[in-house]
Structure 1
């Protein structure tokens, strides 16, 4: 420590990372694609109402937002969305189709002109929605996943593959949309077309399965612009195929977890057997963990816990990773010739667009493991908004939970270059439970974490049992155990940190959003570990959520997470925080978007009604115009400052310049 380091209590350190800074850097580039030789992608604009714009990287390296506000490139298929755009060079100029969030219609756009709709508006339920568009210019069509509501209920919906005319003839005519498949399967991904155009492959699954439980890989012949004789060639109820594509020679590639790990296969042959994941949870249609190159090599995102970008030689099984600082790559890849683009991040950098140039004729690398080509940042380049000495320094930890099971976590101790706490003080810590719950907390720079650590509050992100990245057995720990294993694992990490004098036992908090909000609420109703909690757009009532209060995609998720409702209805009651509001004694903050159709506000309102009059200090902030996951800068600022104020009041902290959250009883 330098001579200028001051001594001040944890939670009182002044930080250059304020809530506005954290909000401005929320989100990441997503949905990469090539338009000719150019790389395009979507990117968030928190200060523009949280919209997603489409960014074009010109040949000279300059970036351009090609669509002004209020255009918002984002699909609502399965509510979490999917790949919302596609582009190609036609007659020497870019032609792009995209989904606009506000009306979910598909639009055609050519630079210099205004977007023109291609699809009609439906007055039924949630209307017509589109994802994974693929331009078939030779047919004058764009092929997509179509989600069509047949009634007003959230599960009154069908999904098929469909072809939309590029000439706009379907704008007023639903019948002009040509359906390529029937709706025998509840869920489908977009078709991948073989290089010779003769075959198509896609994934399908049905209730009550989620795609990480089991999917079918379907292949069909493409004849005259139609899909003929679809047949299932792999997958099943207990085998999850996360992605499929075609090798240049026409052989079928796919990522299957039949061995307990998502590994890569070619026509059924395992290409690189490893206890690693080469796939993940298909929360959005169009996620890509691998992409075949023209030279026969395969770009892959793979790893255990964290992920790397590598190149796999399917002939030898040799896998070589790109050199660079990145510890996490998002499931979005695009390839063009020998070029690979991906989105990567690290504990020191936010997500940025990375390009890997492969050597044109190399099939393997040196035995020493040198990377093929070189990786460089080409878009959304990270620019430190403050001196990076203020960033937290994560520790990758494995804790021991009940029955001796491993629990993976990232621990971010309080960190400030100019401040330290008195020698006898232990820091407060907040345990973060990620959403999903079939998901994971990535090891990347998050200014929302830095917002707390730079003020002297530690954060522990727990990849509890059920998280992705550690194989199917680890994922399956949560089967019928949601509200038990996740709660136990978070508590085990919190108490372990206290036992080793890393954290103050009396100043522990829990927070989470969505499924993490459930874990936070369940933790407050079933344990006495935490002094307070922050519950963000949560699930609080299993019976309500499992009987029509949520969207179709997750409407039967609880059948595996909790158990079949018809067989174990008592379990739904016993585990629901709303049924045990009387057990909550710790102060809490509840944050909710009023437009949330995944975790609706009604659940929060029921919970609060049962808390009323119980003298538990709490606050409820509900945000108009916000859905599931806050996207507007002003919302995120208010939420972060409110959360810090809660901890300040409960833990006895004095953070400078933070508005006081009014707690009611």
Structure 2
């Protein structure tokens, strides 16, 4: 039976901003600790902290640490794996973790009598951003934790060095920086945590240097490990400036495994530590790796019996089991279409984090002995009738020059509403961040917040996105602000030409690099009626300066736009073309953002002041690069809906009216 007719954008929805905010974030960094499985989990209602959660052998779940402990690293600002733990014959597990507040490494024995407080293992430094740690591995037999140390040597964001380091488990380094043993020198700008071979005689890790990003070119370093734990004979075993190795691990037989894109796709290779000779294990035009935004990401994990658990796919991803001898690949059953880069193994079992268009991210177990999968943590529960969820469509659009553009289209969807015949809906084009990243095919209640009200969403994996091979990523080399803008506009126009969207009611929104794309789209195209710009890059000249951003991305623009050149950078800059912006826009910014500081937003506001361009600026104290607090996310989402209601001529009485200045 058809429901009542109502204009698009006015449908009443049970998916409110508070509901969407409460389901924001995902579990990360899954690990096996004896018979237990641990992971980190978001807590938007607790100030956005990350809780370290343990699932006991009997299935009971509990947080390992009470608030305000926050297991989250700031290395390279995006962080990475913040914890490690090992089982012990007596006394329960020993765990180490990085606390966000001071970035110190702590040890905790959660089952010890009296529930003792975590004890610090590393000191505090007052220099610049201090001392930071990530990707720990406990070597109890050596009495150490091996991890990556990021050490600031001055006040500038780029006054920093990174090394692999060994931290004593006895706490002797808690007040003594000299007690931290450096395993590598700092000749490489970036390193990952060292992996110890099964026989304990070798270590392997990844390294890269400016101006490369890790998806451009990395090298695999191998060293001999002496009896006293020193690294000697360090050499490069694989990789190079035009080859990205996303992950390296030792197999149980002592061979070295690497996810390399030397063939155009991140495929698995067995690499000789001696001469670097590599053999591809399963050649396929799919990705078995991804962009290394966070140190400790894992797209594959060797099982003790020889097979390798792999996250693989082209756009959408699956969990598979690869036989490295025969090349046979078998996928796990289940509905999941997006697997996060986190895997752990325990005997015949594999643990990961996955989501689908009908479920949020869950902790999933695959038993390779039976082939069965099951959800063991953060189980998805529908907070509303799933009839209100969008029904996404996988699309490939045609862009300039006939190039393919991958996208997920989420049409407006409501079980109780129909619309007058011939009325096309408004649409918002979403540009993801990165830009070397990817919009996954998963249930997102922020998208459902709009689609259940009658506003469509198109997520565009524009040229430069990961998930479609190196050639697709390289489309953005030197073309940031061009290809991404063109691809988003091509999708918007195609939807309008198909009659699927109202060409007069199109919007664009994006955060971080997506904020750049949104702002550049408003400045250089006439496609959109309005836009939402979230913690954006706006001025590449300033962003590439000494204090414009953090060290990790400080030379990213050399690949995205080209070597620093004032004329070229000004030509691409949305800020320097602010006079061309005529559509209303909403600007959202965290005041504690070290990646995209608020100064650029403030300069854009000054550039449009008094020009009659309707706009609003919401800045949030205590928020950084990516909003994590529930109250922030609620305010931002309601403001965004109010912007679209005003720009599209829609009544939205359930949200506060966003005051737009001119």
Range of TM-score over shorter length: over 0.9
2:128 equivalent to 1:129: no
Please state how far the C-alpha of 1:171 moved relative to its aligned partner: 0.9
Contact 1:546–1:555 under 8 Å retained in 2? yes
Question: Which of 156, 163, 167 is the aligned partner of 2:159?
Answer: 156
1:306 aligns to what?
316
What secondary structure, in the 3-state scheme, does the structure 1 residue paired with 2:45 have? helix
Matches within 5 A, 1:6-405: 6-92=4-90, 93-111=92-110, 112-224=115-227, 225-267=229-271, 268-359=278-369, 373-405=371-403
Contact 1:14–1:656 under 8 Å retained in 2? no
Please state how far the C-alpha of 1:90 moved relative to its aligned partner: 2.3
2:575 equivalent to 1:578: yes
Please state how far the C-alpha of 1:551 moved relative to its aligned partner: 0.2
2: distance between equivalents of 1:569 and 1:604? 20
Contact 1:14–1:655 under 8 Å retained in 2? no
Please state how far the C-alpha of 1:584 moved relative to its aligned partner: 0.5
Deviations for 1:280-327, whole angstroms, at most 9, x for unmatched residues?
Answer: 000000000000001100000000001000000001000000000000
Matches within 5 A, 1:610-629: 610-629=607-626
Please state how far the C-alpha of 1:655 moved relative to its aligned partner: 2.5
2:275 aligns to what?
none
2: distance between equivalents of 1:88 and 1:662? 53
What secondary structure, in the 3-state scheme, does the structure 1 residue paired with 2:141 have? helix
Deviations for 1:127-172, whole angstroms, at most 9, x for unmatched residues?
Answer: 0000001001001110110000000000000000101111111111
Please state how far the C-alpha of 1:110 moved relative to its aligned partner: 0.9
What secondary structure, in the 3-state scheme, does the structure 2 residue paired with 1:420 have? coil
1:630 aligns to what?
627
Q: State the TM-score, normalizing by the size of structure 1.
A: 0.97
Question: Which of 596, 611, 614 is the aligned partner of 1:599?
Answer: 596
2: distance between equivalents of 1:96 and 1:172? 20
Question: Which of 432, 435, 440 is the aligned partner of 1:434?
Answer: 432
What secondary structure, in the 3-state scheme, does the structure 2 residue paired with 1:535 have? strand
What secondary structure, in the 3-state scheme, does the structure 2 residue paired with 1:448 have? helix
What secondary structure, in the 3-state scheme, does the structure 2 residue paired with 1:138 have? coil
Please state how far the C-alpha of 1:656 moved relative to its aligned partner: 3.8
2: distance between equivalents of 1:394 and 1:596? 32
1: distance between equivalents of 2:189 and 2:289? 22
Deviations for 1:532-564, whole angstroms, at most 9, x for unmatched residues?
Answer: 000000000000001120000000000000001
Deviations for 1:170-228, whole angstroms, at most 9, x for unmatched residues?
Answer: 11100000111100100000011111111111000000000000000001111121211
Please state how far the C-alpha of 1:375 moved relative to its aligned partner: 0.9
Q: How many pairs align?
A: 649
2: distance between equivalents of 1:454 and 1:75? 36
Please state how far the C-alpha of 1:510 moved relative to its aligned partner: 0.2
Question: Which of 436, 446, 455 is the aligned partner of 2:444?
Answer: 446
1:653 aligns to what?
650
What secondary structure, in the 3-state scheme, does the structure 1 residue paired with 2:234 have? strand
Question: Which of 466, 469, 482 is the aligned partner of 1:468?
Answer: 466
2:274 aligns to what?
none
1:639 aligns to what?
636
2: distance between equivalents of 1:631 and 1:459? 22
Deviations for 1:355-383, whole angstroms, at most 9, x for unmatched residues?
Answer: 01111xxxxxxxxxxxx611110001001
Matches within 5 A, 1:408-427: 408-427=406-425
Contact 1:290–1:301 under 8 Å retained in 2? yes
Q: List structure 1 segments (4+ residues) > 3 angstroms apart after TM superposition.
A: none
What secondary structure, in the 3-state scheme, does the structure 2 residue paired with 1:521 have? helix
2: distance between equivalents of 1:655 and 1:250? 62
- Stretches of structure 2 lacking an aligned partner (at least 5 in a row): 272-277
2: distance between equivalents of 1:90 and 1:228? 31
Please state how far the C-alpha of 1:654 moved relative to its aligned partner: 1.3
1: distance between equivalents of 2:40 and 2:181? 28
2: distance between equivalents of 1:540 and 1:575? 9
1: distance between equivalents of 2:148 and 2:89? 26
What secondary structure, in the 3-state scheme, does the structure 1 residue paired with 2:87 have? strand
1:367 aligns to what?
none
2: distance between equivalents of 1:421 and 1:569? 50
What secondary structure, in the 3-state scheme, does the structure 1 residue paired with 2:134 have? strand
Please state how far the C-alpha of 1:507 moved relative to its aligned partner: 0.1
2: distance between equivalents of 1:129 and 1:484? 36
1: distance between equivalents of 2:226 and 2:181? 14
- Stretches of structure 1 lacking an aligned partner (at least 5 in a row): 360-371
Please state how far the C-alpha of 1:480 moved relative to its aligned partner: 0.2
2: distance between equivalents of 1:488 and 1:71? 44
Deviations for 1:472-496, whole angstroms, at most 9, x for unmatched residues?
Answer: 0000000000000000000000000
Contact 1:430–1:459 under 8 Å retained in 2? yes
Please state how far the C-alpha of 1:91 moved relative to its aligned partner: 3.7
Aligned-pair Cα RMSD in Å: 0.7
Q: Does 220-229 or 393-402 show the bigger shift?
A: 220-229
1:554 aligns to what?
553
1:363 aligns to what?
none
Question: Which of 502, 505, 515 is the aligned partner of 1:504?
Answer: 502
Deviations for 1:213-260, whole angstroms, at most 9, x for unmatched residues?
Answer: 000000111112121111001000000000000111101000000010
